[in-house]
Each structure stands twice: as C-alpha cells, then as structure tokens.
Amino acid sequence: LGLTGADMDIIRSHKRPPIVFDGTPVDFGYVGDVDRADGQMLGKLIEAGVTPIIASLTHDGQGNILNTNADTMASETAKALAEMYDVTLIFSFEKKGVLSTPDDDESVIPVITRTLFNQYKADGTISGGMLPKI
C-alpha cells in the first residue's frame, strides 16, 4: 500500500528551523525533521497482510506537509517496528558501501563503530547524504 508518512499519522515531524551559515540566514522551507514514527499503526497494517511503502512526506500535526529525508524516515520506521518485530534495515545504493575516498569504489570502510563514525564525521570523510544512512 503506497502511503506517505502523513497518512494515518504514521510519521510526525516538525519544520526544520532556520539557521545562520557563514553569516547568511538559511531557511530550509518545508523540510521536516522526524519526531516520532507510529510502530503500532504500521504493525496493524503488517498484521493485516499489508506491506506499507512510505513516501518521504510527513506532517507537523497542524496541517503542514513536510519534505523529510527518506533515509531518516526509513531509520525511524525501523526503530519503531523493532519494538514488535525482529527488524533489519538495509540501504541499497549504487556504491559498495561507505567509501573513505569518494572517487575510489574500492575504498570501502569495512566496519564503522560509533567512535569511528564521530571521527569520520569530524574529518569530513562521512558527510552530506551519508549522515542519515549511518
């Protein structure tokens, strides 16, 4: 069943607040950051034999639809479902894994612990769209 995170109040988010970057105000518009995913509602669908396919739109509970990062939504949905099921979250993408050198497809980092993640994040090895995946 094709749904959005806004349907059935499956995923609730808040509008990302503006920030100042290099002295310039940045307003993210209608970008949402996830507050919660309703694992119980998703569980009811699954128990009824329905496979939910969730598009990356959420809502703020006040009538606003928000564009929300799909990787973050997948992670939050998996965490919510993990309370009831044995869950494995698999990200499929065009690279073999997280690369230490983006232009070298053979530079896959074999294991990333929380400590290594923090180090790679600080030195820029892991950045941008890879952050929500990790």
In tens, the pLDDT along 45-101 reads: 999 999 999 999 999 999 999 999 999 999 999 999 999 999 999 888 788 888 888
Between 31 and 21, the higher pLDDT residue: 31
Confidence of residue 123 (pLDDT cuts 50, 70, 90): very high
String of b and e for 92-130 (b: at least 16 CB within 10 Å)? eeeeeebbeeeeeeeeeeeeeeeeebeebeeeebbeeeb
Residue 4 structure tokens: 């959005």
Please provide residue 73's backbone torsions phi and psi, each rounded to the nearest 5 degrees: -60, -40
Residues 31, 69, 5, CA angle at the centre, nearest 5°?
85
How far is the C-alpha of 67 from the C-alpha of 119, rounded, in Å? 29
Task: Tell me the H-state helices in 3-102.
Answer: 39-47, 70-81
